[in-house]
Amino acid sequence: MGNESPECIVLNSSPIIALAAINLLEILIELFPKIIVPPAVYEEVAVKGSGRPGSKELGDFVCQGKVKVLTPRDRPLVEALHDPLGMGESEAIALAIEHNCIVILDDRIARVKARSMRLNVKGTIGLLRLVYDKGLISKDKLVQALRELKEHGFRISSDIINEVLEKLE
C-alpha cells in the first residue's frame, strides 16, 4: 500500500484492551479522526468482554460516533486469513486494505501476515510511541505507560521497553 491515510486506523482487540487498562485509549480519538473496528473485535471487547478493560470505553466511543464498526466487504479474504489468524485479526486486515488504513495488531503472526500484504502495521507499543512523537504524552508518561502495560500482563520484554526508550529524542 504505502499511501495509507495517517488519519485512519483499524484496531484489533489487544490494543484496545491494553490501552484501556492504562487509561490511554481515549488519546487515540485525539490522534486519529477515523477509527474502525471490525464486528468480531467489537463482539470480543464490548460484548463478550463486558466489565473488562476496553468494554465500556469501546461501547461509548461507538455510541458517540468516534469509532465505527464496519464489516469487511471481502469475505473470501477474511476466510482465507482466518486460518491461522483469529476472526478479529482477519477482519482488521481486510478492513485496513479496503479503507487504506494503518492496522493495529499485537499478534506476531498477524503482523507478519499484514506486512506481507504491504500494510502499514503498528502495535500497542508503536501507538504509544506515535502518541509521544505527536506530543500528546510526555516521556515520563510513556515510560509509565510501558511499565503499567507490563504490570497488567501485557507481554512486553524489558528489552523492548529499553529499545523504545533508547530511540527517544
DSSP 34-94: EEEE-HHHHIIIIITTTTSTTHHHHHHHHHTTSSEE---S-HHHHHHHTTTS-HHHHHHHH
Three-state DSSP class for residue 35: strand
pLDDT band (50, 70, 90) for residue 83 = confident
Looking at per-residue confidence, does 6 or 96 come out higher?
Answer: 96
- The mean pLDDT of 17-22, rounded to a whole number, is 95
Looking at per-residue confidence, does 159 or 145 come out higher?
Answer: 145
Q: What tens digit of pLDDT does each residue of 71-82 get?
A: 999 999 999 999
Q: Are 41 and 11 in contact (CB under 8 A)?
A: yes
Three-state DSSP class for residue 69: strand
pLDDT value, residue 7: 83
Q: What tens digit of pLDDT does each residue of 90-149 get?
A: 999 999 999 999 999 999 999 999 999 999 999 999 899 889 989 999 999 998 998 899
Q: What tens digit of pLDDT does each residue of 37-63 get?
A: 999 999 999 999 999 999 999 999 999
The architecture of the domain spanning 5-137 is 3-Layer(aba) Sandwich (3.40)
pLDDT band (50, 70, 90) for residue 160 = confident
How many other CB atoms are there within 10 angstroms of residue 135's CB atom?
7
Reported pTM: 0.90
Question: Cell 491515510 sits at which residue?
Answer: 5
What SS3 string covers 90-150?
Answer: HHHHHHHHHHCEEEECCCHHHHHHHHHCCCCEECHHHHHHHHHHCCCCCHHHHHHHHHHHH
Q: Are 14 and 106 in contact (CB under 8 A)?
A: yes
pLDDT value, residue 64: 96
How far apart CA 9 and CA 126 sit, in angstroms, is: 13
